[in-house]
Amino acid sequence: MAESESNGLPVIDMQDFPGQLSKLIEACEEWGCFRIVNFQNFVPQSLMHEMKGVVRSLLDLPIEIKRRNVDVIAGSGYMAPSKINPLYEALGLYDMTSAQHVDAFCTQLDAAPHQRQTFVRYARAVHEFMMDIGHKIGEGLGLKGVPFVGWPCQFRINKYTFTSESVGSSGVQLHTDSSFLTVLQDDEIIGGLEVMRKSGTFVAIDPCPETLLVNLGDIAAVWSNGRFCNVKHRVLCKEAGIRVSIASFLLGPKETAVETPPELVDSEHPPLYIPFTYEEFRKLRISKKLHTGEALDLLRTES
Ligand SMILES: O=C(O)CCC(=O)C(=O)O
Ligand SMILES: [Fe+2]
């Protein structure tokens, strides 16, 4: 798949490294979003396919069961269709790197043994994949250490009930992810995702089976000292059908402040943000209702 087939969205080939390091960094800076191909040694197609089946059946459970999926941190559990997002609902868990959290989620939803196994395999595979992308980002920036070890990973499965009557209305409103990096297995048939370029224009991210999408979030903008783009995105209903996506969010350091690697700070690039933890940031975003990255402006060194 080439950029010309993806509305200009960069396509990163996992089997072409270190050749694609500079392309990867440019994608992080200019788009904050890219498609990935040839990652089968991390996340096999068969596992993506099986996981999609599991996710569909969990999202089809009766609402009384879905409601058992309570929040561990604000916004981590079940989200029922609401006034703001009537076409959307989601299930999720706070940290897919924790066997206990995955187990608790599966128990809440009465998952069958084969569903649990698929979930555990997917969580492990996607986490390793995220760490590898993180590693490559570090390498592309010429960093010495390997960051991102021990960072929690939120997990969310999204269902959009699109009908011909809802075409043109919003599935999920414009937002940035609060995370450092999000790996998205988007629906392979039903489109609707759009990313906003820095210029303000929207680009449709059309379905592309057998690939994964990466979005960078607010923590990536902080961690990179303003170099990386926390991409704004939304989902619109453009056609009738059930749209299902699987999102895994590498959040930020667990208890310590988000730290910019020293290589990215110098007299020409002074620190842009005061030190804060991911948890503090998440609370600020929620309490101020700032979901498109503006919460970062409250944490700038000169504000
Ligand atoms: O469903 C999608 O394609 C996007 C979902 C999303 O943006 C999110 O879960 O943060
Ligand atoms: Fe998102």
Q: Count of CB atoms within 10 A of residue 89's CB?
A: 19
Q: In terms of pTM, does the model score above 0.95?
A: yes
Alpha helices, H only, 109-252: 113-140, 218-223
* Half-sphere exposure at residue 156, Cβ-oriented, CA atoms within 13 angstroms: 25
Q: Which amino acid is at 8?
A: G
Looking at residue 147, what is its pLDDT? 79
- How far apart CA 88 and CA 243 sit, in angstroms, is 9
CA distances from 268 to 138, 219, 220, 221, 265 (A): 20, 21, 20, 17, 8
The atom number, within ligand 1, closest to the CA of 187 reads: 3
Residue keyed to tokens 């916004």: 75
**Hey, what are 208's tokens?**
């592309």
Distance 36 CA to ligand 2 centre (A): 17
CB-based contact 163:240 (threshold 8 Å): yes
Residue closest by Cα to atom 10 of ligand 1:
177
**Hey, what are 296's tokens?**
């970062």
Residue closest by Cα to atom 6 of ligand 1:
247
**Hey, what are 150's tokens?**
């021990």
- How far apart CA 99 and CA 88 sit, in angstroms, is 27
Looking at residue 5, what is its pLDDT? 67
What three-state secondary structure class fits 245?
strand
Ligand nearest to the CA of 244: 1
Extract the runs of DSSP E, i.e. beta strands, from 144-292: 153-162, 170-175, 181-185, 193-196, 202-204, 212-216, 232-236, 241-250
Distance 174 CA to ligand 1 centre (A): 10
- How far apart CA 134 and CA 129 sit, in angstroms, is 9
Distance 247 CA to ligand 1 centre (A): 7
Residue length of the chain: 303
Looking at residue 34, what is its pLDDT? 98
User: Which residues surround ligand 1 with Cβ inside 6 Å?
Assistant: 156, 158, 172, 177, 184, 186, 193, 233, 235, 245, 247
**10-residue mean pLDDT series, the chain (303 residues):** 80 97 98 98 98 98 97 94 95 96 97 97 98 96 88 98 97 97 98 97 96 98 97 98 98 94 95 95 95 95 77
